[in-house]
Chains A and B, each alone.
Chain A
Amino acid sequence: MFNFFKEISEKIDLDHDLINEFNIVNMSGKALYVEGHKGVTSISSEMVAFKIKKGRVVIEGDKLTLKELSQNTILLQGKIKKVEIF
């Protein structure tokens, strides 16, 4: 999968630290795109959790499926109810 935010950051010559930060895009509560995760910690159809650089993100919802997972990105599909960053 393409690294959307990473490519934009590189094009506008953003600070290197910012590139390494994570970005989350919630698409109308029906899909979620994450860039910059550091590994999935828990996964089920109601909850997906993953690590970020300085913390953890927990996503709760219904019928969650991991449509695509790569070293840097996650694409989740399903009804997104809650996104919590710790």
Chain B
Amino acid sequence: MKLKNRTKLLINGLNQEKVLNELSKFMPIYNYKRLSFKQSEFEIDSMYLKQAKKIVVSYGFVIENIQNYGVIFWIKSLFKRYGVFAGIIVSLLFYVIQYNFVWTVNAVGEDAQQAQQIENYVKKNLKSNFKGNIDTNSIESELRNQFDFVSSISVAIIGQSLVINFNEAVLPPEMEDEKSPIISQFDGLITEINLIQGTLNCSEGDIVQKGDILVYPYIIDSQGQEMNVEPKAEIYAQVWYRSSIDHYEYRIETKRTGNVTIKNDIYIGGLLLYGDSSEISYAQYDSETTTRTLSKNLLLPLSLKKTIYYETVTEEIIEDFESVKEQLISKARENTLLFLQKDEIIKDENYTLTGGAGCHTITYTISVEKDIAKVVT
């Protein structure tokens, strides 16, 4: 099969040389053969066919045959002669390409309205329809956070559909009247209590730990009977946040130098298709590996394994504690401040220093006052 697109013309007429000379003024002529006194055949580039026809006809010649060669004509003839096979190949290609995409979202649950709600939410928030970019685990956790009525959920890609199975959160009848107690969310010293409803299990001045029951969900009526109620209270406590930093006067540290080498390997269904065999020139290194699916289908299950090599050096460090003490204290403070939540006011802060014989520990403590009463459902 010729790559260039050429057209072979068979012409009939008198004075072949004159037509040949005229044609050669406008286009190159290839493989000219004089078949008889009146008949000859030759090839031209297909793009000149229209012009050639015009010239040949203007000289009173008859074009007896036109034959095309080249890739484009081969593809055209393939469609003409082998339409069915070409159709199958095109369909197969189309299938392989479209198989990598999710086209429908189906939510399956007991309540059709809730299923519709989930479907609409997923359709609206699906960033990409490409299977490789859909993270079913993150969709699951997002739906769990977004919809309170969902108790369990599973998201899976089946064929070209994203199928979401969910179960509705239904409390058993015996649990419907039960209330949860108020549980302490922090360790702290209780400074103030405003009980609204329920039975107290703590008093001002008590030190409580995270998880301790602060208020029970019942009250004792005048008959001495327990009556279930929703516990409500504001319980303020002095809460401590702590963070520690250890310092060794003699230590060995491994640091990254900043030099990085990246290697990419391509796998087809677990088998190595392309591997970067270059050697790592670093004497010492750390590596991180990530694997990404390039196409999720059975025909071409391609995945890319990317390994990043970081050059490292090991250093022996001798550092006097007194020279870095202030820095370590401020670092310990910064670490402790990270625990603080929005709008919390610092009541007190201090640090303690322990250790000796080359090892020191700085523990930084920040106290705040906050409401530790929170109903756990």
Chain A residues proximal to chain B, CB less than 8 Å:
1, 39-45, 65-71
Contact = CB atoms under 8 A, between A and B. Distances in A.
30 contacts: A1-B28, A39-B17, A39-B21, A40-B17, A40-B20, A40-B24, A43-B17, A43-B20, A43-B32, A43-B34, A44-B34, A45-B34, A65-B31, A65-B32, A66-B29, A66-B31, A66-B32, A66-B33, A66-B42, A67-B31, A68-B28, A68-B29, A68-B31, A69-B20, A69-B24, A69-B28, A69-B32, A70-B24, A71-B24, A71-B25
A45 B33 CA distance: 8
Interface string B20-48: 11001100111111100000001000000
Nearest to B37: A44
B16 interface: yes
A48 to B, nearest CB: 10
Nearest to B36: A44
A42 B34 CA distance: 10
Nearest to A39: B21
Nearest to B33: A65
A70 B31 contact: no
Contacts of A66: 29, 31-33, 42
Interface of B: 16-17, 20-21, 24-25, 28-34, 42
In the A-B complex, list the 3 residue pairs whose CB atoms are closest, starting with the nearest. Answer: A66-B32, A69-B29, A39-B21
B24 A41 contact: no
Contacts of A69: 20, 24, 28-30, 32
Contacts of B17: 39-43
A69 B31 CA distance: 9
Contacts of A40: 17, 20-21, 24
A43 B29 contact: no
A1 B17 CA distance: 20
Contacts of A65: 31-33
Contacts of B42: 66
B304 to A, nearest CB: 46
Contacts of A71: 24-25
Contacts of A45: 34
A45 B34 CA distance: 7
A31 to B, nearest CB: 14
A45 B28 CA distance: 20
The CB with the most chain A CB atoms within 10 A, among B24, B30, B42, is that of B24
Nearest to B26: A71
Contacts of A70: 24, 28-29
A40 B21 CA distance: 6
B335 to A, nearest CB: 76
Contacts of A1: 28
The CB with the most chain B CB atoms within 10 A, among A43, A65, A67, is that of A43
A1 B31 CA distance: 13
B309 to A, nearest CB: 51
A40 B32 CA distance: 12
A43 B42 CA distance: 13
B242 to A, nearest CB: 85
